Structure 1
Amino acid sequence: MAASEQHDGDDGMDAFMDNFKIRNYKNALSEDNWQEEFDKIPMFMKEAPEEIDPQQYPELACLQALIHDQDRPPAEQAKSLKDEGNAFFQEKNYKKAITSYTEGLKKKCGDQELDTVLLTNRAAAHFHLGNMRSALNDAAAAKKIKPDHLKALTRGAQSCMELRNFAEAVQWCDEGLQRHPTDKKLQELRAAADKHKRATERDARKAKIKEKKLHAEREALLAAIKDRGIKLFRPAEPRRRSEEEEEEGGVGSSAATLQLDGVGSQEATGAQVFLDERRSLHWPVLLLYPEHQQTDFISAFSENSCFSDHLAVMFGEELPPWDADRKYLSENLQLYFEDEEKETFYQVNPETSLLKVLQHKRFFVKSGSPSFIVLVRSSSFWTQFLMGKKIRGL
């Protein structure tokens, strides 16, 4: 009898299990959307959604309500916000992490340890976003609360390194090593900061020496130009020139520096007037050929050289390709400079030295580079170009 009842019971279980295998669970995850539904469970989320809809994420909404429950003590709220920030940090969502840490600090919970952690964590988030100044400020605030806090000291040193404030980074490391003398991270940072600090100081010394040398060379150059009576063209200025400046004929330190080192010939051509070891000036000179709209550039025309020396080389056996008529022979050429203010052209004797021309009372060096017009004597263009113009000799 007992065996028969047991047999009947086994048959009933078999039937139940057979039915169980094909029965669907109520509220079960379907085969089609199980992964999507799985991602809605806070424990298994890979990252938090940008906006939390209570209908779509009820469990997460519930957790957030607990975190931001204003009825709980400030310390509990701050700790929950710290944990929330840490979760965002692990997801590399540093902006949201900063927001959570900031909200935690706003609770003013009075727990110095917790506030220090919130500050150092926020400093880390700022650091990863590249906000080095904010990271340094948070590290400094954390150190003020707890002067021996290792993470605050380390983060402050790292931020100074990124800001290239190497001397300050050394100070942070020294302060940290006083409290944590065996910390390898601080030791490594200290060594790197000191190396960069020494290199920066060395570069600063070199730059200062170089600047001092350049200043001396510039002053010597300006003095040489002034001593020769060479006038640098000065653009119109808003203020009235002083009598002393008028007497100097436009040569002054400020004007000369502007023309020689600013928008002068060096910027346009890569060359600049210089003073050689024999105290001779060499000028970048521009030759203009208006008939063919061509130019030539002599990068270092010695003040003691004559124009004929250069013209003989430039228009010797090999003439320029744009001279199809082969008429630009050195013996056929005439040079002029223009006095725009007086609307006058001055003819230059090719046998004259550059210095003598530059010393002419109506010659002004513009943009650090003297310029001259070159024409073929007695050509049709020469006649047309000079027609109606005032021509004078030196």
Structure 2
Amino acid sequence: MASNEDTQPVAIGPQPSQVTDTERLQKLNTDLENIPLFMTHLPTDDTNPAVEALKSLISEEAPEDMAQKFKTEGNTSFHRKRYDQAVAHYTHALSFDHDNNELKVSLFTNRAAANLELHNYARVLEDCKSALQIKSNTPKALFRAARACIMVGKFDEADECCEWALRLDPESKELRKMQDDVKEARRALEVREKEQEKRENARLEKREMVQQAIAIRSGLTFDLSPDNMKKRDLYAWEVSEHCVELDPESAHLLWPVVFLYPESKESDFVQQFDEATSLYDMLATVLAQPPPWDNQQRPAYTVDSVDTYFLARPLGGMEKDERLVKVKSTMRLATILENPKYNILDGIPSFLVLPKSSPFTDQFIEHYRQQRLVNDSAITKSDK
């Protein structure tokens, strides 16, 4: 009788697989690669029977028959409005070598029709040209070429295509309508060009009026940042996205102006600041309500609790050369901008707004005072 020590436990039921999910996935991918439908590339040898069977089927059919089959598939895709697929089928059909010129012409004109729907007008013209090289009396090719020419603004060429096609098919109502379409498109383009020319002339006239107004105000000085120095075809006041404008009624300049708040690192942009308006009046509008970043119950930024400054920088100078200049809020913008120390950088005047009584303001002013002392000391030493 066997002892209990010799008896081994026997597992009951299905055993867990020792193959991991990764291994199963790899095997599945390998199996699928052997099926032509799922192949990502053709095998380099001749060992796959399914692939060889397909090759033999293809090789058994005449190239012309294969081209006709792909043309049929292309037509089906076209009628289903799957124009990309239609182009692909027609292209495949054209890859077969045969002597049926009628079929070739049909494939080129059909592919042109699909490309018309896809707005590939250059390809339309290429296919129509290919069709006409094979058979010059092909109204469809001429019709589709004319349509493509209209879309790209080649109206003379469109007229030529229509006239050529009408010699082949004088009774065609479609071609007569196409001729009308060419005339209408030409007229529409002429109207657009005249409107564009009118707008451009108005813009140039307005531009020169602004330039003349600036020239009259001889005290204005402009400076450019390095990025804008290359814009030699522009006036200094128009290098930025927002430009000064001239009010035709008052003849006042309307400036784009930036108010900077150094303490909060915030800013306000005024698109049209009338030069006849004082800083006080403009700030009364800008600060009519406490800014979102200010104390809403006890705002530090109101028109009566702030002072206004600008940074005076020599032409072509750097930040270290800047000096802080206080501005009387009752002064008009025009007067401030004509200050010899004020240089309008990139066509947009800017001002610093600081609370009248604030530790930050004291520190800010002291920073520029120390910077001025350092610069003055450096100048004194260089003169010795």
TM-score, structure 2 normalization? 0.67
Deviation at 1:289, TM superposition (A): 2.4
Q: Percent identity?
A: 26
Equivalent runs, 1:31-42 vs 2, <5 Å? none
SS at structure 1 position matched to 2:179: helix
Aligned position for 2:380: none
- The aligned residue for residue 256 of structure 1 is 236
Q: Deviations over 1:136-186 (max 9, x none)?
A: 112123334544321111221233345454554344223322332221222
Q: Which one-letter code corresponds to 2:197 in the other structure?
A: K
How far apart, CA to CA, are the structure 1 residues paired with 2:58 and 2:191? Answer: 57
1:273 touches 1:368 (CA, 8 Å); kept in 2? yes
8 Å Cα contact 1:84/1:97 also seen in 2:
no
Deviations 1:105-136 (CA, angstroms, capped at 9, x unpaired) = xx5x4x76565445334434544665432221
Measured at CA, do residues 57 and 83 of structure 1 come closer, stay the same or move farther in structure 2, by a change above 3 Å? farther
Query: Is 2:95 aligned against 1:99?
Result: no
Q: Do residues 203 (structure 1) and 198 (structure 2) align?
A: no
Provide the C-alpha distance between the structure 1 equivalents of 2:179 and 2:340, rounded to a whole number of angstroms. Answer: 64
Return the alpha-carbon distance in structure 2 between the equivalents of residues 62 and 378 of structure 1: 93
SS of equivalent residue, structure 2 residue 310: strand
Bigger Cα Rg: 1
Q: Take 2:91 and 2:306, find their aligned partners in 1: how far apart are those partners?
A: 76
TM-score normalised by structure 1 residue count: 0.66
Residue 369 of structure 1 aligns to a residue whose secondary structure is coil
Instruction: Specify the code of the residue in structure 2 equivalent to 1:274.
Output: E
CA 1:59–1:326: 2 relative to 1, 3 Å:
closer
2:60 maps to which of 65, 74, 81: 65
Per-residue CA distance 1:298-357 (angstroms, 9 max, x = gap): 3321112221222344556x6556244345453443210013532201111122221121
The equivalent residue for 1:233 is: 223
Paired with 1:129 and 1:307, the residues of 2 have a C-alpha distance of 57
- Residue 368 in 1 paired to residue 358 in 2? no
Are residues 132 and 253 of structure 1, via their aligned partners in 2, closer, same or farther at CA, if it must alter by over 3 Å? closer
Q: Which residue of 2 aligns with 1:218?
A: 207
Out of 270, 277, 288, which is 1:298 matched to?
270
Instruction: Verify the 8 A CA contact 1:283 1:303 in the aligned structure 2.
Output: yes
Amino acid at match of 2:298: D
For structure 2, which runs of at least 5 residues remain unmatched after alignment? Answer: 1-36, 43-47, 78-84, 373-384
In structure 2, C-alpha distance between the alignment counterparts of 1:199 and 1:364, rounded to whole Å: 47
User: 2:142 aligned to 153, 160, 178, which one?
Assistant: 153
Structure-2 change in CA distance of 1:89 and 1:314 (3 Å): closer
Look up the equivalent residue of 1:181 and give its one-letter code: P
Query: CA contact under 8 A between 1:167 and 1:194: conserved in structure 2?
Result: no
SS of the residue aligned with 1:182?
coil
Q: Residue in 2 aligned with 1:176? A: 165
Once residues 130 and 186 of structure 1 are traced to their aligned partners in structure 2, the CA distance between those partners, rounded to angstroms, is 20
**Alpha-carbon distance in 2 for matches of 1:301, 1:238:** 23
1:149 partner letter: T
2:237–2:348 CA contact under 8 A, matched in 1: no
Q: 1:336 aligns with which of 295, 309, 319?
A: 309
Contact 2:109 2:131 in 1 (8 A): yes
RMSD over aligned Cα atoms:
3.8
Give the number of aligned pairs: 311
Q: Deviations over 1:179-210 (max 9, x none)?
A: 32221222333333432332222112211211
